[in-house]
Structure 1
Amino acid sequence: MCGIAGIVNYQSHQPADREVIEAMLRAMVHRGPDEGGCYLDRYVGLGHRRLSIIDRSGGHQPMCNEDGTVWISFNGEIYNFRRLRDELVASGHTFQTQSDTEVIVHLYEDLGEHCVHRLHGMFTFIIWDSRKEQILIARDRVGIKPLYYWVSKGGLALASEMKALLAVPDFPREVNLQA
Structure 2
Amino acid sequence: MCGIAATVRYGKRGPVDRDQLCAMRDGMRARGPDDEGLWVSANERVGLAHRRLSIIDLSPRGAQPMANGDGSLRVIYNGEIYNHQSLRDELEAQGYQFQSDSDTEVLLHLYAERGREMVHDLRGMYAFALWDAEREGLFAARDPYGIKPLYVADTGRTLHVASQVQALRSVDEVDTRKNPAGHVGYFLWGHVPEPHTLYEGIRAVPAGHTVWADPDGVQERPFASISEALADADPASQGTHSRTNGRASNGTPSTTDDEAVQEELRDALLDTVRHHLVADVDVGLFLSAGLDSATLTALASELTDRLRTVTLGFEAFRGTRQDEVSGAERLAERDEIAHPPEHPD
TM-score higher than 0.5 = yes
- CA displacement 1:33-77 (0-9 Å, x = unmatched): 001101111211111100011001021000010000100000000
Q: 2:57 aligns with which of 55, 73, 80?
A: 55
User: 1:1-179 to 2 correspondence within 5 Å?
Assistant: 1-41=1-41, 42-57=44-59, 58-178=61-181, 179=196
- What is the TM-score with the length of structure 2 in the denominator? 0.51
RMSD in angstroms over aligned alpha carbons? 1.0
CA distance in 1, matches of 2:14, 2:48: 15
CA distance in 2, matches of 1:101, 1:2: 12
CA distance in 2, matches of 1:13, 1:109: 28
**Partner SS state of residue 127, structure 2:** strand
Question: Larger helix proportion, structure 1 or 2?
Answer: 2
How far the C-alpha of 1:12 sits from its partner, in A, is 3.6
Letter of the aligned partner of 1:77 in structure 2? Answer: E
CA distance in 2, matches of 1:20, 1:116: 30
- Structure 1 runs of 4+ aligned residues shifted over 6 Å read none
How far the C-alpha of 1:147 sits from its partner, in A, is 0.7
Letter of the aligned partner of 2:50 in structure 1? Answer: H
How far the C-alpha of 1:14 sits from its partner, in A, is 1.9
**Partner SS state of residue 112, structure 1:** helix
**Partner SS state of residue 6, structure 2:** strand
Higher relative contact order (CA 8 A, sep 6+): 1
CA distance in 1, matches of 2:104, 2:21: 20
- CA displacement 1:118-140 (0-9 Å, x = unmatched): 00000000000001101111011
**Share of identical aligned residues, percent?**
48
Gaps of 5+ in 1: none
Letter of the aligned partner of 1:40 in structure 2? Answer: V
Letter of the aligned partner of 2:162 in structure 1? Answer: A
Q: Flag the structure with larger Rg.
A: 2
Letter of the aligned partner of 1:36 in structure 2? Answer: E
Letter of the aligned partner of 1:9 in structure 2? Answer: R
